[in-house]
């Protein structure tokens, strides 16, 4: 039986051109990129080329890219690394300030500021679970609500920003319902807040001597762009972000490699050591504190471990291919998306589309439907439909692959205001490069037959 894949939001097949770019580094070009001899430098050059290719696609400098093992690791590094670094810098700055006053004891009051982060309620679990863990460790976390389409509440964001806010993290495109968040507008809100904070800091306030970092350093803005890169402009300058997460396996690259863009990173990492030696009052706030230590020269000392050269080379090639085909592929997928929705309305008129209507606020490969149970079809739930589709050779998903086995209501659909029944009774259909109209028609026919039985 032939199999058909409609779960491209969970993972994509490895493009043969990407595999070709990776192949030499599995065998003959096997050197450790940290080694100084010819074999090592050959591998190091491959890492550099990939880093440079990706940096050009993002509109940044190659020194602002950190390679990781996954988007989950990148998201952890963004949240945990920023918070940990803030705490260390605050301790250093309080000590320096007190030393200048010949007061060598750092008071509990000076260290008592409770840092705050803001995340949207529909983030991937790698953000939400990390935020909850930080919350247990004393960080205040604000979960931004969303409307019925999945758009974050910008008014709530404005109200939540204050002097203690260290980081804001809002995903670019949602993995379950495909909603595109207004990243540029969020960046503008944060930028305006920073400017206002800088002006207010000129007069003394309750945070004097408690918050000695430059007033315009925080909050930083992070976006998880894993689902967005295939379809949307991810130029970091256009978006106004400080940190961005990407994954190779979502763009027809290999599994086991992700990245984190960090604004200004490469220009400041070396200078940070010199600044600290001079007891500079304002060490670099953009530098993350590493989660994995032990490789001082690897990824600017912020991610220890020998670089995964084949995967990184494949990542670079995958990004290059997306850049070449994004606009054309986006148009093709949008037509398939519109076609699928129109047909679904006819064969399953009771099915409800979750999230934003098709258009500028939804990525072009995503459709998520709620199927009413017990329509005389014998299907007790969307899970039943998913299983029957799988048995018929069609792979679809109830939501994020990372939580698909839990059978718990989708936190994304719950955040959109839907009931538990709807949050557990929905299926996600996502298209990709190999998806054709013929395959879509076959899927629609099987759904129609299953609903009639």
Overall average pLDDT of the 28-45 stretch:
93
Per the prediction, the chain carries an average pLDDT of 87
pLDDT of 212: 45
Residue ranges matching CATH 3.90.1150.10 in the chain:
4-12+326-452
- What pLDDT was estimated at residue 92? 54
**Residues recognised as catalytic:** 402
Residue limits of CATH 3.40.640.10 in the chain: 16-317
* Cα gap 102→96, rounded to integer Å: 10
pLDDT of amino acid 273: 47
Query: 94 or 35, which is more confident?
Result: 35
Answer yes or no: is pLDDT of 376 > 50: no
| Whole-number pLDDT of residue 234 | 98
- The dotted CATH code for 16-317 is 3.40.640.10
**Could you count the other beta carbons within 10 Å of the beta carbon of residue 332?**
18
Give me the sheet containing 258-262, strands edge to edge: 65-68, 258-262, 243-247, 220-224, 165-169, 116-120, 140-144
Least confident of 27-36, 96-105, 116-125: 96-105
Over residues 324-338, the mean pLDDT reads: 98
* 75 pLDDT more than 90: yes
* Closest of 74, 70, 71, 69 to residue 308, by C-alpha: 69
**Segment 219-256, tens digit of pLDDT:** 999 999 999 999 999 999 999 999 999 999 999 999 99
Q: What is the pLDDT of residue 272?
A: 46
Buried b / exposed e over 230-246, threshold 16 CB at 10 Å, is bbbebebeebbbbbbbb
Length of the chain in terms of residues written: 453
Query: What does the pLDDT look like over 401-426, one tens digit per residue?
Result: 555 555 689 999 999 999 999 999 99
The most confident of the ranges 129-143, 201-215, 295-309, 377-391 is: 129-143
The sign one gets for the Cα dihedral 61, 293, 95, 133 is positive
CA geometry: angle 83, 86, 92, nearest 5 deg? 145
CA–CA separation, 193 vs 165, rounded Å?
Answer: 11
Q: Thinking of the domain 4-12+326-452, which architecture would CATH place it in?
A: Alpha-Beta Complex (3.90)
Q: Which of 250 and 89 is assigned the larger pLDDT?
A: 250
Whether the per-residue pLDDT at 72 is higher than 50: the answer is yes
pLDDT in tens, 269-305: 544 444 444 444 344 445 688 889 886 678 888 899 9
Average pLDDT over residues 133-146: 97
Alpha-carbon gap, residue 361 to 146, rounded angstroms: 14
Cβ atoms of residues 250 and 232 within 8 Å:
no
Is residue 319 within 8 Å of 54, Cβ to Cβ?
yes
pLDDT score for 90: 65
Q: Tokens at residue 184, please?
A: 């540029």
pLDDT at 255: 98
pLDDT attached to residue 302: 86
Residue 106's pLDDT band, with cuts at 50, 70 and 90, is very low
Residue 89 is predicted with a pLDDT of 66
As given in the structure block, the two tokens for residue 65 are 């890219």
Of 72-86, 103-117, 392-406, the one with minimum mean pLDDT is 103-117
For residue 359, the SS3 value is coil
Q: Is the pLDDT of residue 314 over 90?
A: yes
Both tokens of 242, joined, read 């400080």
pLDDT at 52 over 60: yes
What do you get for the CA distance between the two ends of the chain, in Å?
Answer: 21
pLDDT above 70 as % of the chain: 81
User: Rounded distance, CA 348 to CA 395, Å?
Assistant: 19
Which pLDDT score is estimated for 278?
A: 46
- Can you give the pLDDT at residue 374? 59
Q: How confident is the model at residue 104 (pLDDT cuts 50, 70, 90)?
A: very low
Task: Indicate the pLDDT class of residue 377, thresholds 50, 70 and 90.
Answer: very low
């Amino acid at each position: 039986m032939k199999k058909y894949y409609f779960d491209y939001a969970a993972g994509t097949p490895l493009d043969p051109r990407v595999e070709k770019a990776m192949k030499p580094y599995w065998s003959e070009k096997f050197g450790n990129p940290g080694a100084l001899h010819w074999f090592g430098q050959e591998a190091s050059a491959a890492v550099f080329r990939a880093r440079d290719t990706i940096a050009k696609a993002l509109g940044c400098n190659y020194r602002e890219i950190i390679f990781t093992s996954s988007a989950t690791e990148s998201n952890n590094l963004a949240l945990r690394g920023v918070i940990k670094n803030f705490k260390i810098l605050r301790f250093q700055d309080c000590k320096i300030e007190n030393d200048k006053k010949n007061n060598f004891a750092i008071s509990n009051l000076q260290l008592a500021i409770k840092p705050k982060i803001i995340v949207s309620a529909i983030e991937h679990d790698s953000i939400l679970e990390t935020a909850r863990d930080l919350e247990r460790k004393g960080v205040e976390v604000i979960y931004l609500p969303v409307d019925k389409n999945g758009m974050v509440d910008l008014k709530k964001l404005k109200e939540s920003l204050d002097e203690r806010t260290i980081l804001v993290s809002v995903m670019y495109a949602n993995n379950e319902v495909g909603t595109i968040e207004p990243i540029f507008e969020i960046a503008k809100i944060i930028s305006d807040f920073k400017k206002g904070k800088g002006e207010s800091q000129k007069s003394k306030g309750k945070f004097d001597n408690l918050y000695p970092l430059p007033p315009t350093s925080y909050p930083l803005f992070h976006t998880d762009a894993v689902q967005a890169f295939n379809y949307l402009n991810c130029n970091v300058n256009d978006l106004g972000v400080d940190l961005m997460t990407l994954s190779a396996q979502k763009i027809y690259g290999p599994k086991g490699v992700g990245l984190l863009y960090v604004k200004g990173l490469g220009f400041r990492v070396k200078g940070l050591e010199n600044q600290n030696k001079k007891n500079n009052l304002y060490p670099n706030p953009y530098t993350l504190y590493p989660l994995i230590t032990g490789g001082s020269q690897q990824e600017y000392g912020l991610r220890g471990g020998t670089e995964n050269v084949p995967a990184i080379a494949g990542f670079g090639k995958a990004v290059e291919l997306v850049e070449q085909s994004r606009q054309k592929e986006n148009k093709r997928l949008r037509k398939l998306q519109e076609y699928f929705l129109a047909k679904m309305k006819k064969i399953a008129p009771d099915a409800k589309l979750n999230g934003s209507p098709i258009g500028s606020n939804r990525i072009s490969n995503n459709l998520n439907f709620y199927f009413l149970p017990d329509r005389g079809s014998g299907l007790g739930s969307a899970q039943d439909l998913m299983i029957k589709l799988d048995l018929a050779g069609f792979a679809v998903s109830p939501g994020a692959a990372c939580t698909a086995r839990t059978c718990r209501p989708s936190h994304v659909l719950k955040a959109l205001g839907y009931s538990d029944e709807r949050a557990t009774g929905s299926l996600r259909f996502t298209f990709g490069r190999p998806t054709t109209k013929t395959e879509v028609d076959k899927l629609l026919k099987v759904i129609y037959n299953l609903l009639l039985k």
